[in-house]
Amino acid sequence: MKHIPAIILFCLSLSTTLKAQQVQPDTLTWGTQKNMPHFYEELKARLTWPMAWGNSKQTNFKKWRKQARHTLMDCAETILPAPESYSMSVSAREQREGYEARKIWFNVSEWCRIPAYLLVPEGEGPFPAIVMLHDHGAHFSIGKEKMVRPFNVSPEVMEDADHWAAGCYDNQYVGDYFAAHGYVVLAIDALFWGERGRKEGPDYDGQQALAGNFLQMGTSWGSVINMDDVRSAEFLASLPFVDAGKIGSLGFSMGAYRSWMMAAMSDVVAASASICWMNTTAYLMTLTNNQNKGGSAYSMLLPGLRRYMDYPHVAAIACPKPALFFNGTRDKLFPVEGVEDAYRIMRQTWESQKAGERLVTKIWEEKHFFNKAMQHETLQFFDKWLKR
């Protein structure tokens, strides 16, 4: 350095100073705004989705699908061992019109034995089946009861479930609606909800601590939720009255995310329907979107996955399986522009595999809500693909 003329050193120093000023003006006195770093746009610009179909160097779709799923599962860092046996037991039954509701217990992993609702139609099986996936809603006192009408519960739980069915599902329990139309239905609590909730009682901030603790121990809360769902589908496939080749997944809001993730992670799921959860990172990672608040986002995050694929790219791993996506024009959580962007990306993938008729995408004149008309069209979708 002593041989470099002083004037050159001065110019180099000045250039470095000017560049620093361009990145961080002297007037900037804060580092984050609305929970976002001030350089969030630069971070988003670095996301090039190298593993996405069409971006990947792999041009054989079957090989790409295998590689993309491997990347997905690697990011999931699944460490909960699969159960040696499901060891299902039935603790209660209730006869309903055209089907029986059962409260069951089964081993979802080697470490977790969980309660669930299982609805079984009358008549001769085997039947098609649906894994029914509940929403987040920042409401943790119930989980599976959001999808299946509970029984043998306290008046408080019954009132809670009825209120939720009215507010999100148009006064209809979606699980019961499908069971009445000939589907076996399984609904579990995601970890942190209902009977798998906090011993100390529901607490919104507790989910952030839980997520942090999972990360400290080498995995993520989101991956545990996803793998519990996958193993629930595998459990359904083991039941003698279920047609193992005709298992679908259906969810609303966080349940929708869980649904398309299940379809991407496992071919046990033959068809999926996802109501009110699809978008792109470009439109979700803004100063005004709910996604930037943390909290609920932790239940739907796999560390590092965004370095490889965006949400619709991950969902496209399920291609060419039948998949349905509904969103609403008045859904404040998912900007319509991002919905359209995601639908376009997925449409390109399904059509590239000559499976365009297997992908249903529709934007309803609706808020963040799963109304009865949407439920009816979703039932028709599954009837088409799982009952023929």
Domains in the chain (CATH in brackets) are 61-386 (3.40.50.1820)
Give the residue-averaged pLDDT of 54-58: 97
Taken as a whole, the chain contains a residue count of 388
> What pLDDT shows up at residue 23?
54
> What pLDDT shows up at residue 11?
46
| pLDDT, tens only, 151-161 | 999 999 999 99
In this prediction, residue 16 has a pLDDT band, given cuts at 50, 70 and 90, of very low
> What pLDDT shows up at residue 19?
45
Integer Cα distance of 174 and 291 in angstroms: 26
244 CB-contact burial (10 Å; exposed 0-12 / middle 13-18 / buried 19+): middle
Of the chain, the percentage scoring pLDDT greater than 90 comes to: 86
Q: Which of 104-113, 285-294, 378-387 has the lowest mean pLDDT?
A: 285-294
In this prediction, residue 25 has a pLDDT band, given cuts at 50, 70 and 90, of low
> What pLDDT shows up at residue 288?
83
Query: Tokens representing 41?
Result: 């746009």
195 CB-contact burial (10 Å; exposed 0-12 / middle 13-18 / buried 19+): middle
Q: Are 51 and 71 in contact (CB under 8 A)?
A: yes
Local structure of residue 300 (DSSP, 8 states): G
Q: Are 215 and 303 in contact (CB under 8 A)?
A: yes
Give the residue-averaged pLDDT of 226-245: 98
Mean pLDDT of the chain: 93
Give the other-Cβ count within 10 Å of 334's Cβ. 24
Beta-bridge mates of residue 102: 93, 118
Peptide bond into 83 cis (omega under 30): no
